């Protein structure tokens, strides 16, 4: 989970190489972190505002330029909707999906909420009150609105199931979304998700019986070291509910290894997680 200990882990590991720093320096360089693939589709994109019970949700919507496609709802990490998340959404659209990347903090501020991906004290003081508003019921309300909005878009093939994926705090939102809209969500993927199976009465793993999706749970190595029992609690919950789930600890990958602007970005492990995501969606959203 993204906290002070995560930052210390990164400092101690001296995690970024000079090459990685060059790849992620500035939003214009972000796309260079992603290997090119020959089958990329042309895309179209726009910023959107979606009316919700708690306010106006600002989001980024990107789709293949032609046709109708399965939809994906992308929940960002603690640093919110920013250029790196837009690039990740666009890459998924190039692979054939209609992708909505949301600002989860819309109740408090429009995106972007920060230009840094360092969890220093100033950022914690700013973001934690925003994060406190994202209670499970609030996320479920947002999920219903966002899935409904996606289903109304011409670029979305609403005969096919929807996928949802999340990073860091977004991992919990994936399970909450799948439980809120079980009839529509066919796949959920959490990458270095935090607090997925706790001892609290509102722990996300308690919602698994309400879902009808297939899941990918990609766990950071240092997160697993902090709480090695969480993956076992998740496996037990998925097994008890009869839900298919791939749960794997990505050895050597630190919390935050997927977004290309993260201090923990690991190109090789991020690409492996990307391949598993595409495999999940190709099967579960068919």
Average pLDDT of the chain to the nearest whole number: 92
pLDDT mean over 150-164? 98
Residue 18 in this model has a pLDDT that exceeds 70: no
CA-atom Rg of the chain in angstroms? 17
Q: What is the three-class DSSP state of 191? A: strand
Domain ranges of the chain: 4-284
Look up residue 122 and give its DSSP letter: H
pLDDT grade for 9, boundaries at 50, 70 and 90: low
Least confident of 14-28, 120-134, 195-209: 14-28
Out of 3.40.50.1820, 3.40.50.2300, 3.90.1150.10, 3.10.270.10, select the CATH number for domain 4-284: 3.40.50.1820
Distance CA 226, CA 255 (A): 11
**Closest CA relative to residue 162, chosen from 148, 173, 176:** 148
Cis peptide preceding 163, ω within 30 of 0 = no
pLDDT digits (tens, 9 = 90+) for 181-238: 999 999 999 999 999 999 999 999 999 999 999 999 999 999 999 999 999 999 999 9
DSSP assignment of 51-95: EETTEEEEEEEEEESSS-B-EEEEE--TT-SSHHHHHHHHHHHHT
Q: What percent of the chain has pLDDT over 90?
A: 85
């Amino acid at each position: 989970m993204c906290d002070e200990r995560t930052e210390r882990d990164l400092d101690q590991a001296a995690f970024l190489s000079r090459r990685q720093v060059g790849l992620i320096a500035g939003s214009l360089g972000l796309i260079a972190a992603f290997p090119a693939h020959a089958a990329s589709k042309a895309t179209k994109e726009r910023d959107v505002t979606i009316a919700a019970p708690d306010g106006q949700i600002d989001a980024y919507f990107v789709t293949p330029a032609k046709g109708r496609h399965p939809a994906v709802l992308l929940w960002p990490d603690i640093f919110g909707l920013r250029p790196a998340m837009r690039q990740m959404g666009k890459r998924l659209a190039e692979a054939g999906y209609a992708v909505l990347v949301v600002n989860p903090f819309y109740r408090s501020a429009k995106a972007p909420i920060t230009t840094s991906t360092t969890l220093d004290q100033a950022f914690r003081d700013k973001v934690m009150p925003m994060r406190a508003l994202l209670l499970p019921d609030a996320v479920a309300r947002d999920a219903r609105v966002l899935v409904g909005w996606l289903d109304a878009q011409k670029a979305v093939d609403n005969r096919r199931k929807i996928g949802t994926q999340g990073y860091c705090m977004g991992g919990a939102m994936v399970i909450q979304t799948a439980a809120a809209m079980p009839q529509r969500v066919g796949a959920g993927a959490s990458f270095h998700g935090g607090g997925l199976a706790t001892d609290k009465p509102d722990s996300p793993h308690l919602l698994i019986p309400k879902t009808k999706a297939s899941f990918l749970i990609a766990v950071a190595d240092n997160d697993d070291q902090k709480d090695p029992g969480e993956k076992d609690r998740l496996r037990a919950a998925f097994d008890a509910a009869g839900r298919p789930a791939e749960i794997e600890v990505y050895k050597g990958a630190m919390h935050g290894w997927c977004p290309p602007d993260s201090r923990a970005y690991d190109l090789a492990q991020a690409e492996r997680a990307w391949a598993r995501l595409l495999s999940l969606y190709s099967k579960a959203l068919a």
